[in-house]
Amino acid sequence: MKVTAPTTAPTTPATSLADPHPGFLRSLAETRRYLLGRPSRIMPTPDGKAVLFLRSPARSPVHGLHEYDVATAATREVVTPAEILGGAGETLSEAEKARRERMRITDRGFASFGLSPDGATVLLVLSNRLYLFDRASRKTRALTEATTDAVVDPRFSPDGTRIAFVRGHDVWVADVAGKVKAHPVTTGGSENLTHGLAEFVAQEEMGRFEGWWWSPDGKRIAYTEADHTDVERFAIADAAHPERAPAVFPYPRPGKANARVRLGIVAAGATGKAPRTTRWIDWDRDKYPYLALVLWEGVRAPMCVLVQTRDQREAVMLAVDDNTLATRPLAIERDDAWVNLDKDLPRWLPDGRGFLWVTEHSGRRELELRAPDGATKTIVVPASEGFVSLCHVDPAGREAWVLTGDAISNRIVRVPLDSDVRVVLTRDRAEHAPVFARRAGLYVDTVTAADAWPESFVCRADGSVLGRLPSTAETPPFRVNLELTTVGAPGFHAAVIRPHDLRPGRRYPVIVYVYGGPHALVVKADARNYLYEQWLADHGVIVVAIDNRGSPRRDRVWERAIKGNFADVALADQVLALQALGARYPEMDLSRVGIHGWSFGGYMAALAVLRRPDIYKAAVAGAPVVDWLDYDTHYTERYLDLPAANTAGYRDSGLLAHAPKLSRPLLLVHGTADDNVYTFHSLKLADALLRAGRPFEYLPLPGVTHQIGDPVVREQVWRRTADFLFAHLGVGA
C-alpha cells in the first residue's frame, strides 16, 4: 500500500472515550499491578518450622518483616522499618539506589534480609546501617554505626558469628556479638578500584550481584577487585535541578573497555589490627575477562570460578588450588553463537562427589551430573523434558528439585541423582517459583496462572500443601479475558486479550504489546501480566502479545536465530505471527494496528513503524535502544559480536538509518535519569527525525529511571500511551 507522510506534527487529543473501569489505572499504579501486599523475598527457616517474608500494605511500597508459623498457620509482623528508625525517614545512597535499579527493586523499608545459619537471627539494612533482629526475644539492635556510605550485600559467616559487607568500596567484617568493632579486611577501594562489588555488566547482564564470598570455614573471604580506570564514564544530570551535581557511572559500550576484574582471597580475622595480604587467583584474564560465578560451597569441593570469553562463545569452570591459587579446567561449554549463563549453575553436591552442570550441546538445555574431575556421569534432566532451572539439592546430595516445562508454563519435578525415577509435583498449567528451606523438607511455591492471581503455598518436599502465606493485596476489579495460543508454521506463542463485551461480527483495532528481545517472554500463564492490556481492550480493541524467535525456553536454533542482527528476524516474526492471528480471528482489523513497548520493546515498537508502516499505524516507544553501539558490552556483543566484526549488523539493527522513513505517528517516552538505556538514545532519534523533517512526539519523564516508581507518573504514562494509540487507530470513532 502507498504510505503518505503527514505534513504537520501529529497531536494526541485527549480521548473522549468513557473509561470502562473508572479509577482502575490509578489503582493499578498505586498497587504496583496489585503486587503490593503479596509476600515477597520469601525465606523458610533452615528447620522448616517458620517462613519469613517481606510484605507491604496494599498501597504502600514500604515492606515490613513477617513470620508464618508452619504448625499453626499463624502470621504476624515481627518488625517494621518505623520501629527501628523511630519515625525518622529512610535514606539511601546513590550507590544503593543504583544497585536496586540493577536488581529491579523499587521497594522501600526492608528491601531484603538475611538469616543466620541456625535461623535464630535476622539481618536487616536500613539507612546505611546494619541491624540484627533476634527472633526469640523480638528485639533489634544496631550492629554498625550510621554513615553516609551504603551498606551493600551483608551476609552471615558459615558459623553465624560474623557478618561481612561492603562499605566505601571495601569489604568489612563485623562481629555479631559486638565484642569487636566493624573493620575493613580490604583497603584501597575507590570509585575507580572497587573491592567486593559486582561491576555493572555482572549485575545488569550476568545475574551476579555478589562481589565477595565466605570460605566454607569462615576464615577467609574471596572478593572481586574491579578496575574501572579505562571504562567510559556516563553522567546523568537532572535538567530540572541544574544546581545538583550529575551522577557519574562507569558504562562500557560495545568494542570499548570493560572493567578489569580479578579475584583475591584475604584472611577474615576477628580483629582489624593485623595487616592483611591479598593473594590473587590465577587464570588467563585476557582470554576469559568475564567472571560469571564463584563457587565456594563446602569443604569437600574445591573453590571454583566460572569465567567467560569476551565473545561469550566459551565458558569454563576452573577449580582453584587452595595452596597455590592456580586454576585448572573442569568443564567447558562452547557455542558457535554464544553460551548462556545460569545464575544457579554449576552447583557442587554437598558431599563433593560431583557437580551439576547445564549444557545445550544437544540443541536444548540439559542438566548433567559430572564427576569431580569434570567427566560426565549421567544426564539428570534430558533435553526432551525441557529443563528450565535448578531449584534445590537436598543436604545429602541424593535428590534435586528442578523446574521443567516450556515457554508458557513449568512444573516442579523431584529428581533422584542416582536413578531415572522422577516425581512430578505439579501438573497445572502455571508458573511455579519455589523457595526451599536449607535443611528441612519444606518449600514455598509461588504460583501464577492465566486464570488465577498469585498465591504462595507452603509445601512438604513431596508437594503436599500445608498452608499458604497470607496476602493483603487488593484484588483487581476484573478478570483478564485471556487466550494463549500458538500460530504460524514455526509455532509462535501468542496472547490474545479481548474486550469483555466483545460483539460478534464486529471488527476491532489491534494493539500489540511487544518486547521481542532475548531472555524475556511476554506470553505467559500469568493473568497479572495483562491487566493494563485488558483495560486497553475494554475500550474497544483487541490486544495481542507475541514471542518471536530469539526468546528463551525454546530450543537453541530458535533462540539463536537473531545472532548478528536484532531487527530482521524479530520484526519479520512479529509481522508473520500477527498476520496469522488476523487470518484465524476475523474480529481483528489488521488495517488498524498500533504497537507499544518498553526497553527492547520500545526499540521494537519504533522499529515497527519505521520499517513496516504498511502493518503498524502508530507506535509508543518507551526507553528504546536507538543505537546498539551505545548499549552495554556484555549484552550487545553476545548477540551482535564486537562492532569491528559486524559493522553491518550494528548499522542495520539500529534505528537512526531508518529515521528519514518515518511516516506513521510515533511517541517517544524516556526517563531523564535512566542509567540502563540512557536518555540520549531517544534524544539521538529525536534529532535524526527532526533533521529529516519527520514529525513525532516526545515525552520526557524528569528524574525517572528505567523503571517508573512514582505511581502518578506511571498512571499518566499509561494514559498517554492509550490516548495516543486510540487517537491514531480511530478507537471509538
Q: Using CA atoms of 453, 459, 465, 471 in order, give the dihedral in degrees to the nearest 10.
A: -40
Considering only CA atoms, which of 626, 613, 611, 616 is closest in space to residue 679? 626
607 by DSSP, 3-state: which? Answer: helix
**Count of CB atoms within 10 A of residue 64's CB?**
19
Question: Helical H runs in 397-517?
Answer: none
674 annotated active-site: yes
706 annotated active-site: yes
What the block records as the C-alpha cell of 679 is 536518555
List 342, 573, 627, 674, catalytic entry: 674
DSSP notation for 467-491 = EE----PPPPSS---EEEEEETTTT
Print burial letters for 113-143: b (CB count within 10 Å at least 16), e (below 16).
Answer: bbbbeebebbbbbbbbbbbbbebeeeebeeb
Give CA–CA dist 519/99, Å, rounded: 21
CA 190 to chain centre: 27
Which residue reads 582489624 in cell numbers? 272
Q: What is the 3-state secondary structure (H, E, C) of 236-248?
A: ECCCCCCCCCCEE
One-letter amino acid of 726: F
What the block records as the C-alpha cell of 242 is 541544574
List 56, 157, 599, 682, catalytic entry: 599
User: Count of alpha carbons within 13 Å of 631, Cβ hemisphere only?
Assistant: 27
**Count of CB atoms within 10 A of residue 228's CB?**
23
List 634, 706, 723, 728, catalytic entry: 706
599 annotated active-site: yes
Considering only CA atoms, which of 448, 408, 414, 413 is closest in space to residue 432? 448
405, 397 in Cβ contact below 8 A?
no
409, 388 in Cβ contact below 8 A?
no
Element (H, E) at 651: helix 647-653
| Bond before 586 cis per omega within 30 degrees | no
Which residue reads 533422584 in cell numbers? 416
Q: Which residues are catalytic?
A: 599, 674, 706
